[in-house]
Amino acid sequence: MKITEQTTLEELSGLFPEAEGKLISGGDFFTAKKELTLAKLQKEQPTWNVNDIIYGLERLKEIREKGYYVIDVYPDSDESRKANVGLMKMTAGA
């Protein structure tokens, strides 16, 4: 799948299952705004450059092919802000 300005959050939600709930504000953001395109996301959040988002997500797709995984930092936390914190471990040279 090629990520473009017209890609919706719903389309992205299944692209990185290991990071579900940890990209773009975490939690249910993707579900609540699933029909939002990346272009419309930038209109809502003008400091988020759509080209930078596309570049970053395309790069994550490349890295995923070489192997990475997500580590939950606070796995037992009841605090929603902490529960959505995760680190992505990417292989060297990716």
64-46-28 Cα angle (round to 5): 55
Q: Which residue has the higher pLDDT, 94 or 9?
A: 9
Q: How far apart are CA 11 and CA 46, in angstroms?
A: 21
Asked if the model's pLDDT at residue 5 lies above 90, the reply is yes
Q: Which residue has the higher pLDDT, 72 or 41?
A: 41
Domain locations in the chain as residue ranges? 9-66
Q: Quick one: tokens of 3?
A: 């990520």
Please give the share of the chain, as a percent, with pLDDT higher than 70: 57
Q: How far apart are CA 59 and CA 61, in angstroms?
A: 5
Tens digit of each residue's pLDDT (9 = 90 or more) over 34-68: 888 999 988 988 888 999 999 988 988 887 777 76
Which pLDDT belongs to residue 62? 82
Q: Are 33 and 1 in contact (CB under 8 A)?
A: no
